[in-house]
Chains A and B, each alone.
Chain A
């Protein structure tokens, strides 16, 4: 399982990366592995406002549907439309091509309350 050091992690197995004014969000390698083959990602609408821990997206695997929660509050500014045709990118590349959406209107200090890579690795052990 890979857990990049430059990301922050939630207990619900999302990751977030702050890039200036923008937060990029996805699910962890551990999460994609637990879910199994991902068959569909219900992406949020661009412009949607979310609170921290608010419902952001839904990921479906062959067996079940799971909520993806927002690690921090913000407004959806971009979604990864490539996942419409290739949801398996979330399995194959959870931290790169499998990103889910980007948020603006963020308070970057909110990520201080999230887990570091080391904390997350200990959490999933």
Chain B
């Protein structure tokens, strides 16, 4: 049974095209993916992200439990600070990628992917101390993202706040119309912006407030092209339970000082690793690679495409692929077999786009 976010009727009124994503009916586009993509790169857009999961982890053992559960270096975090990282299985595969918010020393919020939420919750509950509380607040929590180079004054005016007080990967609870909103200086587009959390009614009102002053919504289609250009991983593409953070080239989000689940297998795999590594590639032209296409060199398969799309910002096609380490040097010329022909591509550094 696919679920609807609290903004579903708004998407319908806006004429959005809806798709099933992670068990949710979500807007893939309103006006068009390219227009929404460009509007986010040049102006600002709002995104319905209510489908994502939020958990509260609390108690005197919460912090130590999280250090064992996550690769994230949470020790230095202060109240109002958040950090990205992974939850690994015993074989060092990624159960989920998530952001950990320190509300206070004994109270933390985890923001997880919609499609992995239930398995995350089971895993967390099975791996924390008996005295640690784990509460799924997803159903009563709404979330919208406001992203784009022109978002700052709009957010400041609507919420009546000064965003210079909230640095990147910091957050602050504010009061808006007598309701609490968590303003997080994070995002998934590579642009300046915030992610806003509150109760469902407040988020609905806030969403409408942005629409009323003319801010345009963007759907999951633009969210995907924006994140790909910015080199940000998408669970199920660049990350899954068979992929280690090291293979995904994301070791900067792994704190090896901590004794987290999966660490011994991760170290062993790193020691003996001869397999694949995540690379970015650019195609000479507009034809796109897609998830699952083979990467070939001299007619031999050397890898597999994780994500691929036409890039509206670069006006050519880009993608990520897991490629045999020995063939993965920057500037290596590769072919992408799309089933009809071999597209010429070159391995390049991530990200594809940086403001």
Contact = CB atoms under 8 A, between A and B. Distances in A.
B221 A63 contact: yes
A87 B286 contact: yes
Interface in A54-88: 58, 60-65, 87
B287 A63 contact: no
Interface string A10-25: 0000000000000000
Given A58-B340, A62-B221, A63-B221, A39 B32 contact: no
* B-side interface size class: 20 to 34
B194 interface: no
B225 interface: yes
A62 B34 contact: yes
Given A42-B340, A58-B340, A36 B288 contact: no
Given A36-B32, A36-B221, A42-B340, A62 B309 contact: yes
Contacts of B17: 36
Given A58-B340, A62-B221, A62-B310, A40 B287 contact: yes
Interface string A25-63: 000000000001101101000000000000000101111
Contacts, number: 42
Contact of B286 (A36, A39, A58): A39
Contacts of B317: 39
Given A62-B310, A63-B221, A42 B33 contact: no
B11 interface: no
B222 to A, nearest CB: 9
A87 B338 CA distance: 19
Given A62-B33, A62-B34, A62-B221, A39 B310 contact: yes
B26 to A, nearest CB: 13
Contacts of A63: 28, 33, 221
A36 B287 contact: no
Nearest to A34: B17
B287 A37 contact: no
B29 interface: yes
Nearest to B33: A62
Nearest to B309: A62
Interface string B1-32: 00000000000000001000000000011001
Contacts of B312: 62
A56 to B, nearest CB: 13
B290 interface: yes
Nearest to B28: A63
Given A58-B340, A62-B225, A63-B221, A39 B288 contact: yes
A63 B338 CA distance: 14
Nearest to B341: A42
A40 B288 CA distance: 8
Interface of B: 17, 28-29, 32-35, 221, 225, 285-288, 290, 309-310, 312, 317, 338, 340
Given A37-B35, A40-B288, A62-B33, 8 more contacts: A37-B32, A37-B33, A39-B34, A40-B287, A42-B340, A58-B340, A60-B287, A63-B221
